[in-house]
Homo-oligomer: A and B are copies of this chain.
Amino acid sequence: MATDAQQACFEAGIKFGSLYHQFAGTPVSPSSTRSLEAAMAESIENQPHCEAVDVTIHDDRVADAIDHENGYTELTGSLMDVEMRIEYEGITARTRMAMADGYPLMELVEVVDDAGPSPADETDPNA
């Protein structure tokens, strides 16, 4: 029913929702950002069709978000950038999360058929 490109996008979305809601709320400070980045990337890369995950937690934003004496904050989308690459049946979907108007926006960057576009390619029918 769904095309391979649609399936690739569905898989890409699953990974983003998983990463965000598994790890949002994790206690984080500038001294623990590297280990959290690594765990987030490696855990989500376990999921099917997920070829690469890159997580950058910004130490300066974490430091700015620490507003009480305890010296840590909780991970939220505003503290990090995420990029992912999903491969599904010859389709590559690239996605990212970054701040847009103060809101962490998850977005599809591109969906490409690794065999290259064709006149009747479902990912761009009118090309």
* A residues whose Cβ falls under 8 Å from a Cβ of B: 1-3, 5-7, 9-29, 31-32, 35-36, 38-48, 67-68, 70-72, 74, 76, 93, 95, 101-103, 106, 108-111, 120-127
27 contacts between A and B (CB under 8 A): A1-B110, A2-B108, A2-B111, A3-B111, A10-B95, A11-B13, A13-B14, A14-B17, A17-B17, A17-B21, A18-B27, A20-B21, A21-B21, A22-B25, A24-B24, A25-B76, A27-B44, A27-B46, A27-B47, A32-B45, A35-B42, A47-B70, A48-B70, A68-B101, A122-B124, A122-B126, A124-B124
Please report whether the interface of chain A is mostly helix, strand, loop or mixed according to DSSP: mixed
B7–A26 CB distance below 8 A: no
Given known pairs A13-B9, A27-B44, the reply for A1 and B108 (CB within 8 Å) is yes
Copies of this subunit: 4
Chain B positions within 8 Å of A11 at CB level: 13
A25–B28 CB distance below 8 A: no
